[in-house]
Structure 1
Amino acid sequence: MSNTEAAPAELACGDRATTADPEHPALEILTPREVPLGGPRAMRVRRTLPQRSRSLIGAWCFADHYGPTDATGAMDVAPHPHTGLQTVSWLFAGEIEHRDSLGTHAVIRPGELNLMTGGHGICHSEVSTGATKTLHGVQLWVALPERHRHTARAFDHYVPSVNRIEGAEIRVFLGSLAGRTSPIPTFTPLLGAEIVLGPDAHMSLGVDPRFEHGILADTGDVVVAGTRVRAGELGYIGIGVRSLTLSNRGTAPARFLLLGGTPFDEEILMWWNFVGRTHEEIVAFREAWQAESDQFGSVTGCTGTPQRLPAPELPAVRIKPRRNPASGQEARHG
């Protein structure tokens, strides 16, 4: 997915992981902001990462949550570039046709992981299919560490099985959780899982204490360590926690994503669809895309308009670095 803001901020993001109290972990609530996803009839997405109060959770550096929306406001994103990151597509409803400069042509469906590695450079398009009546899902980005950020383009597809425990259904699409492990390799330790918690269900879920975690609520509210995360919100818990207590006090199932990873100890620079390290590097990425450089390749078979997304204008001045709060900062409770 492209960041289609007309004037995207240039963000210098560095992780300062918060250490949680293992017995009484505090939850920081991140509320989303609405962003239009391109075009005059654009669908709107709810963005919870990055933001001023927190720019990363592990290597997860971007989170857009969209839908449910009907086909009149569905997705139509022309070819656009990425560098220094991986895109993770996860749907709850609908279908998206994906084409990229590797030659991949795939249909993204609910419950199926589609992970694209940008590395040195890739471009792709995303268009909801004609069969889509309702579109609902998330688009996530993972920042690549310095030693791997120029890696070759790649595309991975995986369909996780459903693990049913304690009134919950769990699909692990990255990393390991509750005895299940995704076979998809990652460049830093990561966790990505969809969890559907049944009505009036409660569970204790063992997690890796080296990880910080985010709980992105989709449908229904979920209570995490005693704090409610409402639909659309992202709850954050710092490192040091070995288990999460999760409850659904509602009368319908509550669905959420559990994201996690070891704190990302490098400062990154994000602008538009690029993750780099310096302002000059971002400028070079933009110039290469505008010049239709082989760095990104080209997408074939995409018939929409425009044929490729032009890059926005760069900011006239550098934006001051934004960092996560220092360890020990009080969390805001919901």
Structure 2
Amino acid sequence: MTRFDAPAEEQLTRTVVSPGPTTLLLESREVPLGGIRGITVHRSLPQRGLPTVGAWCFLDYFDEAGVPMQVLPHPHTGLQTVTWPLNGEIRHRDSELSDVHIEPGQLNIMTSGHGISHSEFSTPQPEGVSLTGVQLWVALPQHFAHIEPFFEQHVDLPVWSRDGIRAQVFVGAIGDAASPATTFSPLLGADVTVDAGTATSIPVDPSFEHAVLIVEGEAIVDGVRVTPGPLLYIGDGCDSIRVESDTGARAILIGGEPFAEDLVMWWNFVGRDHDEIVTARDEWEAGSARFGHVPGHGDDRIPAPPLPSVTLTPRRRRL
């Protein structure tokens, strides 16, 4: 997925006092992505003061709401994209000649490294079904930021379950349920379903920080009531996350070791300084071989927006 907006940030909105790790409830913001899609997404990452959760540096929830997703070829650098549909199906094509359909419960993970381009189009949905899902980005550590690009699809992912909770693990591991997806830093990503009347805990790595996005229903997570929209941040130092729900819920759980490197994020590029971003933009606009060509679209593609008139600087953590 591509960004049509200039990067913006939101304030941390609520602090919950607790005896354990810090918990913060962070409001998402609505971002119109324009173009031929006309989709408005709910963006939870990055936030002001919290540019990353682990190496996760971007999190959008999208709802097609009757408008087909039609994302023409666009570039990426320095990151991995994780596409996770909740309902509906998406066709992915990229400059590494991948051409796949992805359904709920299946993972597309694309490593851009030095540079890749791709497109994403929703396929015709059954009557009454609206395409919904999440798009996430993972920042690549500097040592891996310029590796050769590649793409993976995983259609058989492990499931961890306990006492009314079922977690399909798409990145990293919960207990013995370990995803086969390639990652370059310690990470966790899971689609969690909570039955009505559940009250139990998910074991997690205490060296990780985590965040929970409710996409359906309502739950109390580590003592904080969470509904669809806000992102609950949970600081490192805990070995489990308590989840309770009277009505049932579905959530996206992400986590990872706090990411220590400074990042400059602009449009679809992740780099370390202003000049790196400028070079990537110029090469995309010039049709450089760096980003290849996505078959099936002719010369159609998304142009890069103008650069701001100021020097791009890293987003800094203020927690």
Q: So what's the TM-score if we normalise by structure 1?
A: 0.88
Instruction: Report deviation, 1:185.
Output: 2.4
Q: Which runs of 5+ in 2 are unaligned?
A: 10-16
What amino acid is the match of 1:316?
S
- Check conservation: 2:263, 2:314, Cα contact below 8 A: no
Match of 1:313 among 302, 306, 316: 306
Name the residue aligned to 2:165: 168
- Equivalence for 1:107: 101
Partners of 1:184 and 1:60 in 2: how far apart? Answer: 15
Structure 1 residue 24 displacement after superposition: 3.2
| 3-state SS of paired residue (2:280) | helix
CA deviation string 1:119-148 (max 9, x = no partner):
000000001012364101000000000100
Q: 1:295 to 1:40 in 2, by over 3 A?
A: closer
In the alignment, structure 1 residue 248 sits paired with structure 2 residue 245: yes
Deviation at 1:25, TM superposition (A): 3.5
Q: Name stretches of at least 5 consecutive residues in structure 1 with no aligned partner.
A: 12-19, 327-334
Aligned counterpart for 1:94 among listed residues 88, 99, 106: 88
Are residues 1:82 and 2:82 paired?
Answer: no
Within the alignment, does 1:33 sit opposite 2:26 as a pair?
A: no
In 2, Cα distance between equivalents of 1:265 and 1:173:
23
Partners of 1:247 and 1:38 lie apart in 2 by: 37
2:271 counterpart residue number: 276
Q: Does 1:151 align with 2:143?
A: no
Matched to 1:245, the amino acid is R
1:233 maps to 230
3-state SS of paired residue (2:308):
coil
Q: Which moved more, 1:24-33 or 1:179-188?
A: 24-33
The 8 Å contact of residues 172 and 182 in structure 1, kept in 2 or not, is answered as yes
The equivalent of 2:14 in structure 1 is none
- Whether 1:179 and 2:176 are equivalent positions in the alignment is yes
Measure the CA separation in 1 of the matches of 2:50 and 2:33. 22
Query: SS of the residue aligned with 2:300?
Result: coil
Q: 2:196 aligns with which of 171, 190, 199?
A: 199
Q: Are residues 41 and 123 of structure 1, via their aligned partners in 2, closer, same or farther at CA, if it must alter by over 3 Å? A: closer
SS in 1 for 2:34: coil
Root mean square deviation of aligned Cα: 1.9
2: CA distance between counterparts of 1:323 and 1:311?
25
For structure 1, which segment, 227-236 or 316-325, has the greater mean C-alpha deviation from structure 2 after superposition? Answer: 316-325
State the AA in 1 paired with 2:27: T
Provide the secondary structure at the position in 2 that maps to 1:99: strand
Residues of 1 paired with 2:68 and 2:227: CA distance? 24
Aligned mate of 2:130, from 130, 134, 138: 134
Secondary structure at the counterpart of residue 48 of structure 2: coil
CA distance in 1, matches of 2:257, 2:313: 25
- Aligned-partner residue type, residue 293 of structure 2: S
Segments ≥4 residues shifted beyond 6 Å: none
Q: Of 316, 325, 330, which aligns to 2:318?
A: 325
Q: C-alpha separation between the residues in 1 aligned to 2:176 and 2:243?
A: 17
Higher relative contact order (CA 8 A, sep 6+): 1
Q: Which residue of 2 aligns with 1:43?
A: 39
Counterpart code for 1:105: D
**1:39 partner SS:** coil
* Kept in 1: contact 2:42–2:61 (CA 8 A): yes
Taking the aligned partners of 1:195 and 1:285, their CA distance within structure 2 comes to: 36
